[in-house]
């Protein structure tokens, strides 16, 4: 059995987030922080005027995949919802504390929009282990 948290760590807090509005897909790489109390919830911080914010307001259904880590370890899901969060930066700041590269691209995160990415299931895949699906229901 694969270790889910090991796959999260291999992602290095990066994932490709796919949105779709009116049949037009769009994908971008974003940084994320994981909520330790809810392992199937990631937080993404974005400029308020970013295209993805408008897309999520129109369609919260998303898909994502993490970038491959050691041995090709990656996670993906098309059972995900991304919506604008009511949380403040101070609520999630510790999730990004050990990510200086992320902070370089987000010098004023308190002014940005927080997105909650929640997924019902995730596929753990790699170049060396058989794929495994994990459900959070």
Long-range contacts of 36-43 (CB under 8 A, 24+ apart): 38/118, 39/4, 39/5, 39/8, 39/136, 40/118, 40/119, 40/120, 40/122, 40/136, 41/116, 41/117, 41/118, 42/15, 42/116, 42/117, 43/85, 43/87, 43/92, 43/95, 43/114, 43/115, 43/116, 43/117
- Which pLDDT does position 1 carry in this prediction? 60
* Angstrom distance (rounded) from CA 63 to CA 46: 17
DSSP tag of 86: S
Question: Model-level pTM greater than 0.75?
Answer: yes
- Which pLDDT does position 137 carry in this prediction? 79
- Which pLDDT does position 36 carry in this prediction? 84
101: region left, alpha or beta (phi > 0 left; psi from -120 to 50 alpha): alpha
Query: What is the pLDDT tens value at each position of the chain, 137 positions in all?
Result: 689 999 999 999 999 999 999 999 999 999 999 988 999 999 999 999 999 999 999 999 999 999 999 999 999 999 999 999 999 999 999 999 988 889 899 999 999 999 999 999 999 999 998 999 999 97
- Which pLDDT does position 69 carry in this prediction? 95
């Amino acid at each position: 059995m694969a270790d889910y948290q090991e796959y999260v760590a291999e992602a290095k807090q990066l994932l490709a987030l796919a949105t779709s509005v009116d049949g037009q897909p769009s994908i971008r790489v974003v940084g994320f922080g994981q909520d330790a109390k809810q392992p199937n919830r990631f937080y993404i911080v974005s400029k308020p005027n970013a295209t993805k914010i408008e897309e999520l307001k129109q369609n919260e259904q998303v898909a994502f995949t993490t970038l491959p880590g050691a041995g090709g370890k990656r996670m993906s899901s098309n059972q995900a919802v991304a919506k604008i969060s009511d949380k403040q930066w101070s609520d999630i700041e510790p999730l990004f504390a050990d990510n200086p590269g992320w902070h370089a691209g987000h010098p004023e995160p308190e002014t940005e929009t927080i997105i909650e990415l929640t997924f019902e299931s995730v596929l753990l895949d790699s170049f060396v282990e058989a794929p495994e699906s994990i459900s959070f229901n």
